[in-house]
Amino acid sequence: MSPGGRRGLRIFLITMVVALIVVGVLDRVAARVVADQIATRAQNAENLAQRPDVSLGGFPFLTQVVAGRYRDVQLEVRGYEQDGTRIDRVHADLTGVRLPLSDVLRGAVERVPVDQVDAEVDLTFNDLNAYLASQNSQLKISPAGQGIQVGGTVDLLGTAYPVSGTTDIGVAPDAVTFTPRDLAPDLAAVIPPGLLDTVRSLLTVRVPVTGLPLNMKLRSATVGADRLTFAAGGENVLLDATVAPTVAPAGTPGL
């Protein structure tokens, strides 16, 4: 190769390296700008006390920016509280987030449609029991291996009895219910058999989990060492900062 050819090749290679660096920098800058826009819309639309953490996946990211459609967005909210129930953490994976480039450039993002949301919702036993205490309940929920135990004091015919039992977990879209399956064996020695069904009823606990961000609904629950982790999700969600968020009624706690 002639000296002129080698020089031309070096210039070409240097130009390509510089171009790749510039594209990489622009890619990350664009990701931060879009993440900031989504976080702002989510906070305003969902009336969140704290700004959520938003991260974006997929590379190259600039192709998503140009298309105005983002395939992998992660959003996390900490310390969310609604209707007296504190949620320790909401971690959501958003698929099909639509955010036109023209709106991003103008800083005029008001509505952000989302095709699908899949999330984990963490409710600690401390927060769960704090809710029960706020409802003047004498019961407490605690883990029992892979299951749940409920225990405390109930009043039967004017007498306070310490009672406990293992429970089944019932998950509704906006609540979790703990229903006694087996009572502690020693209860039969102190409580008349005819009142055991009453004890089961008194030990049944319902906790509302309403108004989750992104209109998510609970689907199932897993018992952990210090918390319940719910699978939750939603479809065709609209983050709209121009409309006040709507919250489903909590209903009767049913303690």
- The span from the CA of 252 to the CA of 241, in Å, is 30
Bridge partners of 162, per DSSP, are 153
Record the pTM. Answer: 0.78
DSSP per-residue letters across 155-212: EETTEEEEEEEEEEEEEETTEEEEEEEEE-TTHHHHS-GGGHHHHHHHH-EEEE----
pLDDT in tens, 93-146: 999 988 777 776 666 667 788 999 999 999 999 999 999 999 999 999 999 888
Tracing tokens 């892979």 back to the chain, one arrives at 146
Which tokens sit at 27?
């890619």
Q: How far is CA 186 from CA 140, 167, 201, in A?
A: 19, 17, 18
pLDDT digits (tens, 9 = 90+) for 2-35: 665 555 555 555 555 554 444 444 455 556 767 7
Mention every residue, 6+ apart, whose C-beta is less than 8 A from residue 239: 38, 41, 42, 45, 46, 111, 112, 113, 114, 214
Kindly list the domain boundaries of the chain, sorted by start residue. 3-122, 125-240
Give the whole-angstrom CA distance, residue 164 versus residue 196: 12
